[in-house]
A and B are shown apart, each in its own frame.
Chain A
Amino acid sequence: MSDVFDKCRSWKDYRIAKATGLYPYFRSIEASHGATEVEIEGRRVIMVGSNNYLGLSADPRVKEAAIKAVEKFGTTCSGSRLLNGTLALHEELEVRLARFLNRESALVISTGFQTNLALSSILGRHDIVFSDRQNHASLVDGIRLGFATERKFRHNDLDHLEQLLAAAEPDSAKLIVTDGVFSMEGDLCNLPRIVELAKKYNARVMTDDAHSMGVLGEKGRGVPEYFGLEAETDLVMGTFSKSFASLGGVLAGPFEVINYIRHKARSVIFSASMTPASIAAALKSLEIIEAEPERRARLLDIAEKMHNGFRAMGFDTGVSVTPVVPVHIGDQVKCFRFWKALHEAGVFANPVIPPAVEAGHALIRTSYMATHTDAQLDRVLDTFETIGRRLGVIPETRPTVYEPVKIARPGTGVRSNRASEKWAAGSAGQLAAKGLTLEQLSRMSSREMAGKLFDAVEQLTWRAANLQPADLRKLGGASMRLWEKRGELPGLLLEKGANFFMRNGHDQNNSQAERN
């Protein structure tokens, strides 16, 4: 007899991560010191893992507005927008946002995730949605809930998109959906080309500007403004949990469309509306975003400083051109170890592992606030350098040259950091070729295995026989360095062991898939 709970019982990953002390998720923050520093497990750490880009969550004006709203309207609306949960504040925010975004109409929804789910209400049976493979999960689910056919194109591969568009039924209604800024790797969508294709194939365009609203563009209206393509982008979506220091989301576009969604989307009409505090905070933040463009400028300066700071040390920050600064680690267990070491050294960032990124491309995602001080940022850089060297992610000495990153400042039109070829080149296939797997071992005859072993002994003997006094002196230094790294030994063993088993686990899965 099987039990639906079986899978929960047999799920080992959590227990392994917990037992090895590498479990990085659901960390509870006990106190916040102006958002840029927080206390976790009694330790004060610099927060470079939040999306509070403009640092407004700690702004006294925003806090004050939220408190006032609570005092005036209470703590919740207790019901849905449709029936009893609409306050004058909701409508004020919608009007202000529509004006801010240059749209006919805007709709605020309780969370960003639900905002994307609301998209499902306009996806009819004969429609086709074209979606970037790295789109946020909420978009993926939003499309899944709709009735339309989904066509996924390879991340930012517009040739692929064109192929799919060309292959689609010409008469069917089409929508292209993409993140504006991709949340994990920090690159931008190729909106100019998407718009071009949309015109050619008669499709609508929607961008998810969760990570760009308040950050990119002269006025902070996100990716469409940054590319000067607001009129060509039919629907824009944004969230309040990032630059807007609140919780909730907004969908803006033509009145008829927004009105339809307002009445049809189940994530809107069957969900309690945004709380008064959330709305008031978002409203105040919007005011500040409009009035204080210097925050955006500071944020982009910080992004530039961090990107280039990391690169100067030999880190790879991938294709990002935004304040989302991913630091490439590669191996996923090493990534956890890196994250843990960072945490212990007083820096809070996020480990991102497959399936959120491609296998072998695990990374530490850092993101910055306009309110970070230079001293904090320098400490973050120093910490990364020390740990990067200790874990062998970067060389012992800094590289002599590095390719500086061009940040997506207003008017530059930069989309992605092309200099980072390494990132794109290292495909999963190449990685799989490295290292011995159980399967290979099992295919080897005992003779071959013995041969490998004897070769290793031969090599060791040769090295030992070749040792000279000069080497021995060097050996002293090397063993000192080794001794300094002794704390990393359990971690390293863990990493190697975990990789070995994961590799073999994957092999089994693959062969199983082949059988099926």
Chain B
Amino acid sequence: MALPAESSTAAALPAIPPDVTVTPVRSSADKTAFIRMVYPLYRGDPNWVPPLEMERKDFLDPRKNAFLEFGEVELFLARRGGEVVGRIAAVKDPHYNEFHGTNDGFFGLFECVNDAGVARALFDAAAQWLRAQGFVNVLGPMNFSTNHEVGLLVDGFSTPAAIMTTYNPPYYGALIEACGFTKAKDLFSFELSASAEPPEKVVRIAEKMRQREGITVRCVNLKDFPAEVVRLKEIYNSAWEKNWGFVPMTDREFDHLARDMKQVVRPELVLIAEVKGEPVAFSITLPDANEALKAANGRLTSYGLPIGLVKLLLASRKIRRLRLVTLGIKEGYRRRGIDAILYLDTLRTARRLGYEGGEISWTLEDNHLVNRAIESMGGKRSKTHRVYQRPL
């Protein structure tokens, strides 16, 4: 039955509890509260990985986060009797709207107690700010664009979140839907074990293509880091051009990301495929640093002592999982099996280095070509993240 959207959502919206106030983050104390509110919220959840407080602080610092050089973010905190019960970020990404010719705003960093009224108060505040910017739609969660963490976890709560992916309590989906949001897009994650042999047929075809097209795969040369970053950037911005939600990264954004990744990267797992010496595709697989991050529990020091740092360093030597974060092929070199070659080489290297397996994420639900390729390698869908939307 088709009801006018207007009346159906308006009637269904949960009431805002009178004792809840939502205020924009202004002081540094507010900002600290914004960052720290997650730790009590997730206490006891074995699959939640506490982010490092300082990393989050830098993420919200316009001097440290390259996105904030062009994008604008307004943070809101919901409080009930002085206690923080929710948070949200309203995001203005001019590059997205320029690139897609849209007029959309985003929300992100959404966290909330299980109370639809609080969620609504947060979304109202964000929506009001976004409306004032002149936007007509709101999408999210985006922290703060598809180049960072995206989506709300709606399926696959039984395993810990992999590096640079989002995690949330299962009830968030219901909260967001109660506030009038509908699905915009699902993002898939696949689980792959390093011990499983890839299907023989795939291997055969891949090897044949490698011979025929003259494809060579090498790993990244960290000694020549700046030049390698330039090569990757070029492939990245041309490979994702037509993808849903894609925003080209600015040079500064890419450099920042590269810099952050360099901290955890194993160069053997960053592969660049070349055809006649020209880089045409790459894949980045990172050790799942979240396994180690968990040990630190959000801080590198406690009582001034570097306990977290030591734990983090010790745990980081025991990382056994990987995440294939991104794989991109330049226009004109697709459907030649380059992706299969990169998957296979990554798998082989992972096995050689002693990794147990890992996650390939994320892919768009309707990117059948890629999804099928991953499944043909033996990948099993493990998680679904969802991006929601709502007219403002």
Known: A468-B259, A468-B262. A462 touches B304 (CB 8 A): no
Main secondary structure of the interface of A (DSSP, over half): helix
Most buried by A among B53, B262, B299, B301: B301
Q: Verify if A458 is at the interface (C-beta below 8 Å from B).
A: yes
Known: A459-B54, A462-B52, A462-B54. A454 touches B304 (CB 8 A): yes
Determine the chain B residues whose CB is within 8 A of the CB of A468 once the complex forms: 259, 262-263
Q: Verify if A17 is at the interface (C-beta below 8 Å from B).
A: no
Q: Verify if A461 is at the interface (C-beta below 8 Å from B).
A: yes
Known: A453-B304, A465-B309. A458 touches B262 (CB 8 A): no
Whether the Cβ atoms of B53 and A458 lie closer than 8 Å is yes
Determine the chain B residues whose CB is within 8 A of the CB of A163 once the complex forms: none
**Chain B positions 257-288 with a Cβ under 8 Å from a chain A Cβ:** 259, 262-263
Determine the chain A residues whose CB is within 8 A of the CB of B54 once the complex forms: 458-459, 462
**Chain B positions 37-66 with a Cβ under 8 Å from a chain A Cβ:** 52-55
Residue of B nearest to A466 (CB): B263
Q: A462: which of B259, B262, B300, B302 is its contact (CB, 8 Å)?
A: B300
Whether the Cβ atoms of B262 and A457 lie closer than 8 Å is no
Shortest distance in angstroms between A244's beta carbon and chain B's nearest beta carbon? Answer: 54
Whether the Cβ atoms of A458 and B263 lie closer than 8 Å is no
Determine the chain A residues whose CB is within 8 A of the CB of B134 once the complex forms: none
Whether the Cβ atoms of A454 and B52 lie closer than 8 Å is no
Determine the chain A residues whose CB is within 8 A of the CB of B299 once the complex forms: 458
* Mask of A455-482 contacts with B, CB within 8 angstroms, 1/0: 0011101100110100000000000000
Whether the Cβ atoms of B300 and A458 lie closer than 8 Å is yes
Residue of B nearest to A462 (CB): B54
Determine the chain B residues whose CB is within 8 A of the CB of A450 once the complex forms: 303
Q: Verify if B306 is at the interface (C-beta below 8 Å from A).
A: yes
* Mask of B250-262 contacts with A, CB within 8 angstroms, 1/0: 0000000001001
Determine the chain A residues whose CB is within 8 A of the CB of B309 once the complex forms: 461, 465
Whether the Cβ atoms of A457 and B263 lie closer than 8 Å is no
Determine the chain B residues whose CB is within 8 A of the CB of A465 once the complex forms: 300, 309
A457 vs B309: C-alpha distance in the bound complex, in angstroms? 12
Most buried by B among A454, A458, A459: A458
Residue of B nearest to A463 (CB): B54
Determine the chain A residues whose CB is within 8 A of the CB of B259 once the complex forms: 468
* Mask of B287-315 contacts with A, CB within 8 angstroms, 1/0: 00000000000011111101001000000
Residue of B nearest to A461 (CB): B300
Whether the Cβ atoms of A461 and B301 lie closer than 8 Å is yes
Determine the chain B residues whose CB is within 8 A of the CB of A462 once the complex forms: 52, 54-55, 300
Whether the Cβ atoms of B52 and A457 lie closer than 8 Å is no
Determine the chain A residues whose CB is within 8 A of the CB of B303 once the complex forms: 450, 454
A350 vs B118: C-alpha distance in the bound complex, in angstroms? 59
Residue of A nearest to B55 (CB): A462
**Chain A positions 428-474 with a Cβ under 8 Å from a chain B Cβ:** 450, 453-454, 457-459, 461-462, 465-466, 468
A454 vs B300: C-alpha distance in the bound complex, in angstroms? 10
A261 vs B291: C-alpha distance in the bound complex, in angstroms? 90
Residue of A nearest to B263 (CB): A466
Residue of A nearest to B225 (CB): A470
Determine the chain B residues whose CB is within 8 A of the CB of A457 once the complex forms: 301, 304
10 contacts between A and B (CB under 8 A): A450-B303, A453-B304, A454-B301, A454-B302, A454-B303, A454-B304, A458-B53, A461-B300, A462-B55, A465-B300
10 closest Cβ contacts across the A-B interface? A462-B54, A457-B304, A461-B300, A458-B301, A461-B301, A457-B301, A454-B304, A461-B306, A458-B299, A462-B300
Which A residues have a C-beta under 8 Å from some C-beta of B?
450, 453-454, 457-459, 461-462, 465-466, 468
